[in-house]
Structure 1
Amino acid sequence: MTKTTGPGGGEPEPSDSLRAFGAAVRAFRKRAGMSRAELGTITNYSADTVASIELGRRMAQPDFIAKAGPALDAHDVLAEMTETLERRKGLATWFHRWADLEDRAISLYTYECRVVPGLLQTEAYARAVITSVPPVFEDEEVEQRIAERLARQSILTRKPLISLSFIIEQAVLERQTGGPQVTGEQIDRLLEVARLRNVELQIMPLRRPQHAGHDGPMQLLEAPDHRWLGYFEGQRGSALITDPDEVSIMARRYAIMRSQALNAEETVSLLERMRGDL
Protein backbone atom coordinates (compact mmCIF):
# COMPACT_ATOMS: atom_id res chain seq x y z
CA MET A 1 0.00 0.00 0.00
CA THR A 2 1.25 3.48 -0.87
CA LYS A 3 -0.08 6.61 0.77
CA THR A 4 0.42 9.88 -1.07
CA THR A 5 -0.40 13.47 -0.17
CA GLY A 6 -1.56 16.08 -2.60
CA PRO A 7 -0.45 19.70 -2.77
CA GLY A 8 0.48 21.37 0.45
CA GLY A 9 3.01 18.85 1.74
CA GLY A 10 5.17 20.09 4.57
CA GLU A 11 5.41 20.28 8.33
CA PRO A 12 2.16 20.13 10.32
CA GLU A 13 0.17 23.21 11.22
CA PRO A 14 -1.93 22.87 14.38
CA SER A 15 -5.72 23.13 14.15
CA ASP A 16 -7.87 24.41 17.01
CA SER A 17 -8.93 20.88 17.93
CA LEU A 18 -5.32 19.64 18.01
CA ARG A 19 -4.39 22.56 20.26
CA ALA A 20 -7.34 21.82 22.55
CA PHE A 21 -6.41 18.14 22.78
CA GLY A 22 -2.79 19.03 23.48
CA ALA A 23 -3.81 21.48 26.18
CA ALA A 24 -5.89 18.75 27.82
CA VAL A 25 -2.97 16.32 27.78
CA ARG A 26 -0.72 18.98 29.30
CA ALA A 27 -3.26 19.83 32.01
CA PHE A 28 -3.79 16.18 32.97
CA ARG A 29 -0.03 15.56 32.94
CA LYS A 30 0.63 18.48 35.27
CA ARG A 31 -2.21 17.38 37.55
CA ALA A 32 -0.54 13.98 37.75
CA GLY A 33 2.78 15.63 38.64
CA MET A 34 4.54 14.11 35.62
CA SER A 35 7.23 15.55 33.38
CA ARG A 36 7.06 15.13 29.63
CA ALA A 37 9.95 12.69 29.85
CA GLU A 38 8.07 10.58 32.41
CA LEU A 39 4.94 10.49 30.27
CA GLY A 40 7.14 9.64 27.29
CA THR A 41 8.59 6.66 29.15
CA ILE A 42 5.08 5.37 29.89
CA THR A 43 3.89 5.79 26.29
CA ASN A 44 7.17 4.76 24.57
CA TYR A 45 7.48 8.18 22.96
CA SER A 46 10.22 10.78 23.32
CA ALA A 47 9.75 13.88 25.47
CA ASP A 48 9.97 15.92 22.25
CA THR A 49 7.05 13.99 20.78
CA VAL A 50 4.98 14.52 23.94
CA ALA A 51 5.76 18.23 23.66
CA SER A 52 4.63 18.26 20.01
CA ILE A 53 1.34 16.62 20.97
CA GLU A 54 0.78 19.06 23.82
CA LEU A 55 1.47 22.02 21.53
CA GLY A 56 -0.98 20.73 18.93
CA ARG A 57 1.67 20.10 16.31
CA ARG A 58 1.20 16.35 16.10
CA MET A 59 -1.78 14.04 15.99
CA ALA A 60 -1.77 11.64 18.95
CA GLN A 61 -1.74 8.02 17.81
CA PRO A 62 -4.11 5.41 19.32
CA ASP A 63 -1.30 3.68 21.24
CA PHE A 64 -0.33 6.99 22.88
CA ILE A 65 -3.91 7.60 24.02
CA ALA A 66 -4.29 3.99 25.18
CA LYS A 67 -1.28 4.37 27.49
CA ALA A 68 -1.47 8.04 28.44
CA GLY A 69 -5.17 7.99 29.30
CA PRO A 70 -4.99 5.50 32.19
CA ALA A 71 -1.65 6.88 33.40
CA LEU A 72 -3.15 10.37 33.66
CA ASP A 73 -6.55 9.13 34.92
CA ALA A 74 -8.10 10.73 31.85
CA HIS A 75 -8.76 7.90 29.42
CA ASP A 76 -12.46 8.62 28.82
CA VAL A 77 -11.82 12.33 28.26
CA LEU A 78 -8.90 11.86 25.85
CA ALA A 79 -10.63 9.06 23.97
CA GLU A 80 -13.72 11.20 23.47
CA MET A 81 -11.68 14.22 22.37
CA THR A 82 -9.90 12.22 19.69
CA GLU A 83 -13.20 11.81 17.86
CA THR A 84 -13.23 15.54 17.10
CA LEU A 85 -9.55 16.00 16.23
CA GLU A 86 -8.95 17.70 12.91
CA ARG A 87 -5.96 18.42 10.77
CA ARG A 88 -5.87 21.72 8.89
CA LYS A 89 -6.90 21.39 5.24
CA GLY A 90 -3.89 20.62 3.05
CA LEU A 91 -1.85 19.30 5.97
CA ALA A 92 0.68 16.65 5.00
CA THR A 93 -0.94 13.70 6.71
CA TRP A 94 2.14 11.55 6.09
CA PHE A 95 4.09 13.72 8.50
CA HIS A 96 2.21 12.57 11.59
CA ARG A 97 2.69 8.91 10.84
CA TRP A 98 6.26 9.25 9.57
CA ALA A 99 7.30 11.30 12.61
CA ASP A 100 5.87 8.67 14.93
CA LEU A 101 7.60 5.90 13.00
CA GLU A 102 10.86 7.86 13.07
CA ASP A 103 10.61 8.25 16.86
CA ARG A 104 10.58 4.48 17.28
CA ALA A 105 12.75 3.40 14.35
CA ILE A 106 15.79 1.20 14.87
CA SER A 107 17.36 2.09 11.49
CA LEU A 108 16.99 5.15 9.29
CA TYR A 109 18.59 5.64 5.86
CA THR A 110 18.49 8.98 4.02
CA TYR A 111 19.60 10.03 0.54
CA GLU A 112 19.49 13.75 -0.31
CA CYS A 113 20.37 15.62 -3.50
CA ARG A 114 18.74 18.99 -2.69
CA VAL A 115 19.70 20.08 0.83
CA VAL A 116 21.55 18.71 3.84
CA PRO A 117 19.09 16.35 5.62
CA GLY A 118 17.13 18.08 8.38
CA LEU A 119 18.57 15.74 11.03
CA LEU A 120 22.05 17.09 10.24
CA GLN A 121 21.35 20.79 9.67
CA THR A 122 22.84 23.55 11.80
CA GLU A 123 20.56 26.31 13.01
CA ALA A 124 22.01 28.79 10.51
CA TYR A 125 21.69 26.35 7.60
CA ALA A 126 18.11 25.50 8.56
CA ARG A 127 17.25 29.21 8.65
CA ALA A 128 18.80 29.73 5.22
CA VAL A 129 16.80 26.85 3.74
CA ILE A 130 13.49 27.83 5.36
CA THR A 131 13.75 31.49 4.36
CA SER A 132 14.89 30.72 0.80
CA VAL A 133 11.80 28.84 -0.36
CA PRO A 134 8.39 30.52 -0.82
CA PRO A 135 5.96 31.10 0.79
CA VAL A 136 7.44 33.74 3.08
CA PHE A 137 6.82 32.97 6.75
CA GLU A 138 6.49 35.38 9.65
CA ASP A 139 9.55 35.54 11.93
CA GLU A 140 7.74 33.63 14.67
CA GLU A 141 6.90 30.74 12.36
CA VAL A 142 10.45 30.63 11.00
CA GLU A 143 11.81 30.29 14.53
CA GLN A 144 9.22 27.64 15.36
CA ARG A 145 10.12 25.57 12.31
CA ILE A 146 13.82 25.84 13.11
CA ALA A 147 13.23 24.79 16.73
CA GLU A 148 11.16 21.79 15.66
CA ARG A 149 13.78 20.74 13.12
CA LEU A 150 16.60 20.95 15.67
CA ALA A 151 14.54 19.10 18.28
CA ARG A 152 14.21 16.12 15.94
CA GLN A 153 18.00 15.78 15.93
CA SER A 154 17.87 14.11 19.35
CA ILE A 155 17.38 10.92 17.34
CA LEU A 156 21.13 10.97 16.57
CA THR A 157 22.11 10.21 20.17
CA ARG A 158 18.99 8.79 21.78
CA LYS A 159 19.24 5.52 23.75
CA PRO A 160 19.21 2.82 22.63
CA LEU A 161 21.23 4.03 19.68
CA ILE A 162 19.56 3.97 16.28
CA SER A 163 21.50 2.92 13.16
CA LEU A 164 21.72 5.89 10.76
CA SER A 165 23.01 6.14 7.21
CA PHE A 166 23.19 9.34 5.18
CA ILE A 167 24.19 9.79 1.53
CA ILE A 168 24.49 13.43 0.49
CA GLU A 169 25.36 14.79 -2.93
CA GLN A 170 28.57 16.83 -2.99
CA ALA A 171 26.73 19.45 -5.04
CA VAL A 172 24.51 20.19 -2.02
CA LEU A 173 27.54 21.59 -0.17
CA GLU A 174 29.18 23.12 -3.23
CA ARG A 175 26.07 25.29 -3.59
CA GLN A 176 27.03 27.07 -0.34
CA THR A 177 23.47 27.64 0.86
CA GLY A 178 23.52 30.60 3.24
CA GLY A 179 27.02 31.64 2.16
CA PRO A 180 30.58 30.48 2.97
CA GLN A 181 30.33 30.93 6.74
CA VAL A 182 27.09 28.98 7.02
CA THR A 183 28.53 26.30 4.74
CA GLY A 184 31.70 26.06 6.84
CA GLU A 185 29.68 25.61 10.02
CA GLN A 186 27.55 23.00 8.29
CA ILE A 187 30.60 21.05 7.16
CA ASP A 188 31.94 21.19 10.72
CA ARG A 189 28.63 19.71 11.88
CA LEU A 190 28.85 16.91 9.31
CA LEU A 191 32.38 16.08 10.43
CA GLU A 192 31.16 15.98 14.03
CA VAL A 193 28.28 13.65 13.16
CA ALA A 194 30.59 11.44 11.09
CA ARG A 195 32.46 10.58 14.31
CA LEU A 196 29.36 9.08 15.94
CA ARG A 197 29.59 5.28 16.11
CA ASN A 198 25.98 4.76 15.04
CA VAL A 199 26.18 7.05 12.00
CA GLU A 200 27.55 6.29 8.53
CA LEU A 201 27.95 9.45 6.45
CA GLN A 202 28.82 9.23 2.76
CA ILE A 203 29.22 11.90 0.10
CA MET A 204 28.22 11.15 -3.48
CA PRO A 205 30.91 12.83 -5.60
CA LEU A 206 30.15 15.26 -8.41
CA ARG A 207 31.28 12.84 -11.11
CA ARG A 208 29.69 9.39 -11.05
CA PRO A 209 28.84 7.85 -14.46
CA GLN A 210 26.57 5.28 -12.80
CA HIS A 211 24.11 6.60 -10.22
CA ALA A 212 21.11 4.73 -8.77
CA GLY A 213 19.58 7.86 -7.25
CA HIS A 214 18.40 9.66 -10.38
CA ASP A 215 14.76 9.47 -9.24
CA GLY A 216 15.51 11.83 -6.35
CA PRO A 217 15.77 11.89 -2.54
CA MET A 218 14.34 9.14 -0.38
CA GLN A 219 14.28 7.70 3.11
CA LEU A 220 14.05 4.15 4.39
CA LEU A 221 13.08 3.22 7.92
CA GLU A 222 13.22 -0.02 9.90
CA ALA A 223 10.46 -0.29 12.49
CA PRO A 224 10.86 -2.14 15.83
CA ASP A 225 9.14 -5.18 14.27
CA HIS A 226 11.84 -5.10 11.53
CA ARG A 227 9.36 -4.02 8.88
CA TRP A 228 10.84 -1.56 6.38
CA LEU A 229 8.99 1.53 5.10
CA GLY A 230 9.93 4.21 2.58
CA TYR A 231 9.26 7.89 2.09
CA PHE A 232 9.95 10.49 -0.56
CA GLU A 233 8.78 14.00 -1.35
CA GLY A 234 8.61 16.39 -4.26
CA GLN A 235 7.84 20.07 -4.74
CA ARG A 236 4.34 20.04 -3.22
CA GLY A 237 3.59 16.41 -2.49
CA SER A 238 4.90 13.51 -0.46
CA ALA A 239 4.43 9.76 -0.17
CA LEU A 240 4.74 7.21 2.59
CA ILE A 241 5.54 3.84 1.01
CA THR A 242 4.33 0.70 2.76
CA ASP A 243 4.04 -1.73 -0.17
CA PRO A 244 6.82 -4.33 0.36
CA ASP A 245 7.60 -4.54 -3.37
CA GLU A 246 8.03 -0.78 -3.68
CA VAL A 247 10.08 -0.59 -0.50
CA SER A 248 12.29 -3.39 -1.83
CA ILE A 249 13.02 -1.36 -4.97
CA MET A 250 13.97 1.64 -2.86
CA ALA A 251 16.20 -0.52 -0.67
CA ARG A 252 18.01 -1.96 -3.70
CA ARG A 253 18.63 1.51 -5.06
CA TYR A 254 19.95 2.70 -1.72
CA ALA A 255 22.26 -0.30 -1.45
CA ILE A 256 23.72 0.48 -4.88
CA MET A 257 24.20 4.13 -3.95
CA ARG A 258 26.13 3.11 -0.84
CA SER A 259 28.60 1.34 -3.09
CA GLN A 260 28.76 4.27 -5.51
CA ALA A 261 29.31 6.98 -2.87
CA LEU A 262 32.61 7.69 -1.17
CA ASN A 263 33.27 5.50 1.86
CA ALA A 264 33.38 6.97 5.38
CA GLU A 265 37.11 7.75 5.33
CA GLU A 266 37.00 9.25 1.83
CA THR A 267 33.99 11.32 2.85
CA VAL A 268 35.78 12.82 5.84
CA SER A 269 38.82 13.64 3.69
CA LEU A 270 36.65 15.38 1.09
CA LEU A 271 34.77 17.36 3.74
CA GLU A 272 38.02 18.48 5.31
CA ARG A 273 39.34 19.64 1.91
CA MET A 274 36.11 21.50 1.19
CA ARG A 275 36.27 23.14 4.60
CA GLY A 276 39.83 24.27 3.96
CA ASP A 277 38.87 25.75 0.60
CA LEU A 278 36.21 28.07 2.03
Structure 2
Amino acid sequence: MTNSTTNEPEPSDSLKTFGLVHKAFRKRAGLTQEEFAPLVRYQPSTVASIEQGRRLPPRVYVERAEEVLDAFGVLRAAAKYATRQPGLASWFRKWADLEEQAISLYTFENRLVPGLLQTEEYSRTLFNERVPVLTDSQIEAQLAARAERQRLLAERPNTVFNFIVEEHVIRRGTGGTQVTRELIDHILTVTELRNVELQLMPMARSVHAGLDGPIRLLETPENEWFGYCEGQRNGQFIADPETISVLHMRYAKLRSQALTPDDSRSLMERTRGAL
Protein backbone atom coordinates (compact mmCIF):
# COMPACT_ATOMS: atom_id res chain seq x y z
CA MET A 1 0.00 0.00 0.00
CA THR A 2 2.66 2.49 0.90
CA ASN A 3 6.39 2.44 0.40
CA SER A 4 7.08 2.41 4.12
CA THR A 5 8.44 -0.79 5.61
CA THR A 6 5.51 -0.75 8.05
CA ASN A 7 2.83 -0.81 5.41
CA GLU A 8 1.90 -4.50 5.82
CA PRO A 9 2.60 -4.99 9.51
CA GLU A 10 2.82 -7.98 11.74
CA PRO A 11 0.06 -8.29 14.34
CA SER A 12 0.15 -5.51 16.94
CA ASP A 13 -0.52 -6.04 20.65
CA SER A 14 -3.78 -4.09 20.40
CA LEU A 15 -5.05 -6.27 17.55
CA LYS A 16 -4.06 -9.42 19.42
CA THR A 17 -5.89 -8.13 22.50
CA PHE A 18 -9.04 -7.41 20.53
CA GLY A 19 -8.81 -10.88 18.98
CA LEU A 20 -8.53 -12.56 22.38
CA VAL A 21 -11.48 -10.58 23.77
CA HIS A 22 -13.52 -11.40 20.68
CA LYS A 23 -12.66 -15.09 20.98
CA ALA A 24 -13.65 -15.14 24.66
CA PHE A 25 -17.09 -13.66 23.92
CA ARG A 26 -17.60 -16.03 20.98
CA LYS A 27 -16.80 -19.06 23.13
CA ARG A 28 -19.02 -17.68 25.89
CA ALA A 29 -21.84 -17.74 23.33
CA GLY A 30 -21.03 -21.38 22.52
CA LEU A 31 -20.25 -20.66 18.85
CA THR A 32 -17.48 -22.00 16.63
CA GLN A 33 -15.89 -19.67 14.08
CA GLU A 34 -17.83 -21.46 11.33
CA GLU A 35 -21.12 -20.97 13.21
CA PHE A 36 -20.40 -17.36 14.12
CA ALA A 37 -19.26 -16.17 10.67
CA PRO A 38 -22.65 -16.19 8.88
CA LEU A 39 -24.24 -14.38 11.82
CA VAL A 40 -22.03 -11.34 11.14
CA ARG A 41 -22.09 -11.94 7.37
CA TYR A 42 -18.34 -12.55 7.01
CA GLN A 43 -16.27 -15.58 6.04
CA PRO A 44 -14.85 -17.93 8.72
CA SER A 45 -11.36 -17.05 7.46
CA THR A 46 -12.04 -13.40 8.30
CA VAL A 47 -13.17 -14.32 11.81
CA ALA A 48 -10.01 -16.39 12.25
CA SER A 49 -7.80 -13.54 11.03
CA ILE A 50 -9.41 -11.08 13.44
CA GLU A 51 -9.11 -13.44 16.40
CA GLN A 52 -5.46 -14.08 15.55
CA GLY A 53 -4.79 -10.34 15.51
CA ARG A 54 -3.87 -10.32 11.82
CA ARG A 55 -6.73 -8.17 10.56
CA LEU A 56 -8.12 -4.84 11.68
CA PRO A 57 -11.83 -5.44 12.43
CA PRO A 58 -14.07 -3.34 10.13
CA ARG A 59 -16.49 -1.05 11.93
CA VAL A 60 -19.55 -2.89 10.60
CA TYR A 61 -18.04 -6.21 11.75
CA VAL A 62 -17.56 -4.85 15.28
CA GLU A 63 -21.16 -3.62 15.43
CA ARG A 64 -22.55 -6.94 14.24
CA ALA A 65 -20.32 -8.94 16.61
CA GLU A 66 -21.32 -6.67 19.49
CA GLU A 67 -25.00 -7.42 18.83
CA VAL A 68 -24.64 -11.16 18.12
CA LEU A 69 -22.42 -11.81 21.15
CA ASP A 70 -24.22 -9.41 23.50
CA ALA A 71 -20.79 -8.08 24.49
CA PHE A 72 -21.94 -5.22 26.77
CA GLY A 73 -20.09 -2.66 24.63
CA VAL A 74 -16.73 -4.29 25.36
CA LEU A 75 -15.92 -5.13 21.73
CA ARG A 76 -16.92 -1.66 20.58
CA ALA A 77 -14.66 -0.10 23.22
CA ALA A 78 -11.74 -2.44 22.46
CA ALA A 79 -12.01 -1.69 18.75
CA LYS A 80 -11.31 1.98 19.41
CA TYR A 81 -7.80 1.06 20.57
CA ALA A 82 -7.12 -1.59 17.91
CA THR A 83 -4.40 -0.39 15.54
CA ARG A 84 -2.26 -2.28 13.08
CA GLN A 85 1.12 -1.32 14.50
CA PRO A 86 2.66 1.49 16.55
CA GLY A 87 4.27 4.03 14.24
CA LEU A 88 1.96 3.31 11.32
CA ALA A 89 0.56 6.62 10.11
CA SER A 90 -3.05 7.36 11.01
CA TRP A 91 -4.03 7.99 7.39
CA PHE A 92 -3.01 4.46 6.44
CA ARG A 93 -4.80 2.84 9.36
CA LYS A 94 -7.98 4.65 8.35
CA TRP A 95 -7.66 3.61 4.70
CA ALA A 96 -6.97 -0.03 5.56
CA ASP A 97 -10.03 -0.08 7.81
CA LEU A 98 -12.26 1.45 5.15
CA GLU A 99 -10.88 -0.79 2.41
CA GLU A 100 -12.22 -3.88 4.18
CA GLN A 101 -15.73 -2.39 4.31
CA ALA A 102 -15.82 -0.74 0.88
CA ILE A 103 -18.55 -1.47 -1.64
CA SER A 104 -16.50 0.06 -4.48
CA LEU A 105 -12.71 0.26 -4.90
CA TYR A 106 -11.08 2.08 -7.82
CA THR A 107 -7.33 1.90 -8.38
CA PHE A 108 -5.13 3.52 -11.03
CA GLU A 109 -1.44 2.53 -11.05
CA ASN A 110 1.39 3.66 -13.31
CA ARG A 111 4.34 2.27 -11.28
CA LEU A 112 3.64 -1.37 -10.40
CA VAL A 113 0.89 -3.97 -10.31
CA PRO A 114 -1.57 -3.13 -7.50
CA GLY A 115 -1.03 -5.23 -4.38
CA LEU A 116 -4.43 -6.92 -4.63
CA LEU A 117 -3.42 -8.36 -8.04
CA GLN A 118 0.17 -9.39 -7.31
CA THR A 119 1.49 -12.93 -7.17
CA GLU A 120 3.73 -14.02 -4.33
CA GLU A 121 6.84 -14.08 -6.53
CA TYR A 122 6.10 -10.65 -8.00
CA SER A 123 5.65 -9.27 -4.47
CA ARG A 124 8.80 -11.04 -3.28
CA THR A 125 10.78 -9.40 -6.08
CA LEU A 126 9.56 -5.97 -5.00
CA PHE A 127 10.33 -6.60 -1.33
CA ASN A 128 13.77 -8.04 -2.13
CA GLU A 129 14.67 -4.81 -3.92
CA ARG A 130 13.31 -2.50 -1.20
CA VAL A 131 15.61 0.29 -0.03
CA PRO A 132 16.43 0.32 2.87
CA VAL A 133 16.93 -3.45 2.70
CA LEU A 134 14.38 -5.62 4.52
CA THR A 135 15.32 -8.62 6.65
CA ASP A 136 14.09 -12.09 5.68
CA SER A 137 11.55 -12.02 8.53
CA GLN A 138 10.27 -8.62 7.42
CA ILE A 139 9.85 -9.87 3.86
CA GLU A 140 7.93 -12.95 5.01
CA ALA A 141 5.69 -10.78 7.20
CA GLN A 142 5.01 -8.48 4.25
CA LEU A 143 4.16 -11.42 1.99
CA ALA A 144 1.81 -12.96 4.56
CA ALA A 145 0.01 -9.66 5.10
CA ARG A 146 -0.35 -9.06 1.38
CA ALA A 147 -1.79 -12.55 0.84
CA GLU A 148 -4.21 -11.91 3.69
CA ARG A 149 -5.32 -8.64 2.14
CA GLN A 150 -5.88 -10.28 -1.26
CA ARG A 151 -8.69 -12.33 0.27
CA LEU A 152 -10.83 -9.22 -0.14
CA LEU A 153 -11.32 -10.10 -3.81
CA ALA A 154 -12.90 -13.46 -3.04
CA GLU A 155 -14.54 -12.64 0.27
CA ARG A 156 -16.38 -9.54 -0.94
CA PRO A 157 -18.23 -10.66 -4.11
CA ASN A 158 -20.59 -7.68 -3.86
CA THR A 159 -17.74 -5.18 -3.82
CA VAL A 160 -16.82 -3.64 -7.17
CA PHE A 161 -13.08 -3.70 -7.86
CA ASN A 162 -11.89 -1.67 -10.85
CA PHE A 163 -8.21 -1.46 -11.75
CA ILE A 164 -6.57 0.68 -14.41
CA VAL A 165 -2.91 -0.21 -14.94
CA GLU A 166 -0.38 1.15 -17.40
CA GLU A 167 0.53 -1.43 -20.05
CA HIS A 168 4.24 -0.83 -19.50
CA VAL A 169 3.86 -2.07 -15.89
CA ILE A 170 2.93 -5.52 -17.20
CA ARG A 171 5.59 -5.47 -19.91
CA ARG A 172 8.41 -4.38 -17.60
CA GLY A 173 9.22 -7.99 -16.77
CA THR A 174 9.65 -7.47 -13.03
CA GLY A 175 11.16 -10.67 -11.60
CA GLY A 176 11.91 -12.17 -15.02
CA THR A 177 9.98 -13.98 -17.72
CA GLN A 178 8.56 -16.77 -15.56
CA VAL A 179 7.34 -14.37 -12.89
CA THR A 180 5.68 -12.26 -15.58
CA ARG A 181 3.97 -15.30 -17.12
CA GLU A 182 2.60 -16.31 -13.72
CA LEU A 183 1.55 -12.73 -13.03
CA ILE A 184 -0.43 -12.44 -16.26
CA ASP A 185 -2.02 -15.86 -15.71
CA HIS A 186 -3.02 -14.80 -12.20
CA ILE A 187 -4.52 -11.50 -13.35
CA LEU A 188 -6.47 -13.25 -16.11
CA THR A 189 -7.86 -15.70 -13.54
CA VAL A 190 -8.74 -13.05 -10.95
CA THR A 191 -10.49 -10.85 -13.49
CA GLU A 192 -12.82 -13.71 -14.37
CA LEU A 193 -14.63 -12.82 -11.14
CA ARG A 194 -17.73 -10.79 -11.97
CA ASN A 195 -16.84 -8.06 -9.50
CA VAL A 196 -13.20 -7.60 -10.63
CA GLU A 197 -12.38 -5.55 -13.70
CA LEU A 198 -9.01 -4.57 -15.17
CA GLN A 199 -8.32 -2.03 -17.88
CA LEU A 200 -4.89 -1.47 -19.40
CA MET A 201 -3.74 2.01 -20.35
CA PRO A 202 -2.00 1.36 -23.69
CA MET A 203 1.51 2.64 -24.26
CA ALA A 204 0.25 4.06 -27.56
CA ARG A 205 -1.67 6.68 -25.58
CA SER A 206 1.03 9.27 -24.98
CA VAL A 207 -1.07 11.55 -22.74
CA HIS A 208 -3.86 10.70 -20.32
CA ALA A 209 -5.59 11.97 -17.19
CA GLY A 210 -3.41 10.06 -14.72
CA LEU A 211 -0.01 11.57 -15.38
CA ASP A 212 0.04 13.19 -11.93
CA GLY A 213 0.33 9.75 -10.34
CA PRO A 214 -1.63 6.84 -8.80
CA ILE A 215 -5.24 7.27 -7.68
CA ARG A 216 -7.26 5.24 -5.22
CA LEU A 217 -10.92 5.82 -4.45
CA LEU A 218 -13.37 3.87 -2.33
CA GLU A 219 -17.04 4.03 -1.43
CA THR A 220 -18.27 3.02 2.02
CA PRO A 221 -21.54 1.19 2.79
CA GLU A 222 -22.87 4.62 3.80
CA ASN A 223 -22.06 5.84 0.26
CA GLU A 224 -19.28 8.14 1.41
CA TRP A 225 -16.24 8.46 -0.85
CA PHE A 226 -12.60 8.69 0.24
CA GLY A 227 -9.31 8.84 -1.64
CA TYR A 228 -5.71 7.92 -1.07
CA CYS A 229 -2.53 9.00 -2.87
CA GLU A 230 1.04 7.85 -2.29
CA GLY A 231 4.49 9.39 -2.31
CA GLN A 232 7.90 7.85 -1.76
CA ARG A 233 7.57 7.31 2.00
CA ASN A 234 4.26 8.91 2.81
CA GLY A 235 0.64 8.86 1.84
CA GLN A 236 -2.33 11.19 1.92
CA PHE A 237 -5.77 10.15 3.10
CA ILE A 238 -8.35 12.34 1.35
CA ALA A 239 -11.82 13.18 2.63
CA ASP A 240 -12.24 16.69 1.19
CA PRO A 241 -15.27 16.57 -1.16
CA GLU A 242 -13.73 19.00 -3.64
CA THR A 243 -10.56 16.92 -4.00
CA ILE A 244 -12.60 13.71 -4.21
CA SER A 245 -14.62 15.30 -7.02
CA VAL A 246 -11.42 16.08 -8.95
CA LEU A 247 -10.13 12.53 -8.50
CA HIS A 248 -13.47 11.15 -9.68
CA MET A 249 -13.31 13.28 -12.81
CA ARG A 250 -9.77 12.10 -13.52
CA TYR A 251 -10.65 8.46 -12.90
CA ALA A 252 -13.70 8.67 -15.15
CA LYS A 253 -11.52 10.12 -17.88
CA LEU A 254 -8.95 7.36 -17.36
CA ARG A 255 -11.65 4.70 -17.79
CA SER A 256 -12.62 6.24 -21.12
CA GLN A 257 -8.99 6.49 -22.26
CA ALA A 258 -7.96 2.96 -21.26
CA LEU A 259 -8.70 -0.20 -23.21
CA THR A 260 -11.97 -1.97 -22.45
CA PRO A 261 -11.78 -4.95 -20.07
CA ASP A 262 -12.19 -7.38 -23.02
CA ASP A 263 -9.51 -5.64 -25.09
CA SER A 264 -7.26 -5.55 -22.03
CA ARG A 265 -7.62 -9.32 -21.58
CA SER A 266 -6.80 -9.84 -25.26
CA LEU A 267 -3.68 -7.69 -24.95
CA MET A 268 -2.51 -9.58 -21.86
CA GLU A 269 -3.10 -12.91 -23.58
CA ARG A 270 -1.04 -11.76 -26.56
CA THR A 271 1.68 -10.49 -24.25
CA ARG A 272 1.67 -13.81 -22.39
CA GLY A 273 1.92 -15.74 -25.65
CA ALA A 274 4.92 -13.71 -26.78
CA LEU A 275 6.95 -14.47 -23.64
Task: Give TM-score, length-normalised by structure 2.
Answer: 0.84
Query: Is the 8 Å Cα contact of residues 60 and 101 (structure 2) preserved in structure 1?
Result: no
From 154, 168, 171, the counterpart of 2:168: 171
Q: Output the CA distance in 2 between the equivalents of 1:31 and 1:126.
A: 40
Of residues 147-156 and 243-252 in structure 1, the stretch that sits farther from structure 2 once superposed is 147-156
Relative to structure 1, is the Cα distance of residues 123 and 220 closer, same or farther in structure 2, using a 3 angstrom cutoff? same
**Is 2:106 the counterpart of 1:105?**
no
Query: Is the 8 Å Cα contact of residues 12 and 86 (structure 2) preserved in structure 1?
Result: no
Query: Is the 8 Å Cα contact of residues 12 and 95 (structure 1) preserved in structure 2?
Result: no
| Secondary structure of 1:95's aligned partner | helix
Relative to structure 1, is the Cα distance of residues 108 and 87 closer, same or farther in structure 2, using a 3 angstrom cutoff? closer
Output the amino acid matched with 1:71: V
Output the amino acid matched with 1:255: A
**Is 2:185 the counterpart of 1:191?**
no
Q: Output the CA distance in 2 between the equivalents of 1:71 and 1:144.
A: 32
The answer for the alignment partner of 1:156 in structure 2 is: 153
The answer for the alignment partner of 1:28 in structure 2 is: 25
Query: Is the 8 Å Cα contact of residues 203 and 261 (structure 1) preserved in structure 2?
Result: yes
Of residues 237-246 and 37-46 in structure 1, the stretch that sits farther from structure 2 once superposed is 37-46
Of residues 17-26 and 44-53 in structure 1, the stretch that sits farther from structure 2 once superposed is 44-53
The answer for the alignment partner of 1:266 in structure 2 is: 263
Relative to structure 1, is the Cα distance of residues 56 and 114 closer, same or farther in structure 2, using a 3 angstrom cutoff? same
Q: Output the CA distance in 1 between the equivalents of 2:103 and 2:58.
A: 19
Of residues 176-185 and 121-130 in structure 1, the stretch that sits farther from structure 2 once superposed is 121-130
The answer for the alignment partner of 2:236 in structure 1 is: 239
Of residues 89-98 and 227-236 in structure 1, the stretch that sits farther from structure 2 once superposed is 89-98
**Is 2:91 the counterpart of 1:94?**
yes
The answer for the alignment partner of 2:214 in structure 1 is: 217
Output the amino acid matched with 1:246: T
Identity %: 50
CA drift of 1:227 comes to: 2.3
| Secondary structure of 1:124's aligned partner | helix
Q: Output the CA distance in 2 between the equivalents of 1:33 and 1:214.
A: 54
Q: How many residues align?
A: 274
**Unmatched segments (≥5 aa) in structure 1:** none
Relative to structure 1, is the Cα distance of residues 47 and 96 closer, same or farther in structure 2, using a 3 angstrom cutoff? farther
Query: Is the 8 Å Cα contact of residues 125 and 174 (structure 2) preserved in structure 1?
Result: yes
Q: Output the CA distance in 2 between the equivalents of 1:151 and 1:256.
A: 32
Q: Output the CA distance in 1 between the equivalents of 2:63 and 2:160.
A: 28
**Is 2:8 the counterpart of 1:11?**
yes
Cα deviation 1:183-228 (Å, max 9, x = unaligned) = 1100111222333332321111223232111111111112223222
Q: Output the CA distance in 2 between the equivalents of 1:122 and 1:277.
A: 20
Query: Is the 8 Å Cα contact of residues 56 and 97 (structure 2) preserved in structure 1?
Result: no
Q: Output the CA distance in 1 between the equivalents of 2:73 and 2:126.
A: 43
List aligned pairs for 1:37-116, cutoff 5 A: 38-60=35-57, 63-75=60-72, 77-78=74-75, 81=78, 88-116=85-113
Q: Output the CA distance in 2 between the equivalents of 1:77 and 1:218.
A: 37
Task: Calculate the aligned-residue CA RMSD, in Å.
Answer: 2.9
Q: Output the CA distance in 2 between the equivalents of 1:8 and 1:138.
A: 10
Task: Give TM-score, length-normalised by structure 1.
Answer: 0.83
Output the amino acid matched with 2:149: R
CA drift of 1:247 comes to: 0.7
From 120, 124, 128, the counterpart of 2:121: 124
Cα deviation 1:84-123 (Å, max 9, x = unaligned) = 6566442132333323322222221111111111111112
The answer for the alignment partner of 2:177 in structure 1 is: 180
Cα deviation 1:235-266 (Å, max 9, x = unaligned) = 11112211111111001101111121122232
Q: Output the CA distance in 2 between the equivalents of 1:274 and 1:212.
A: 25
Relative to structure 1, is the Cα distance of residues 50 and 92 closer, same or farther in structure 2, using a 3 angstrom cutoff? farther
Q: Output the CA distance in 2 between the equivalents of 1:163 and 1:62.
A: 19
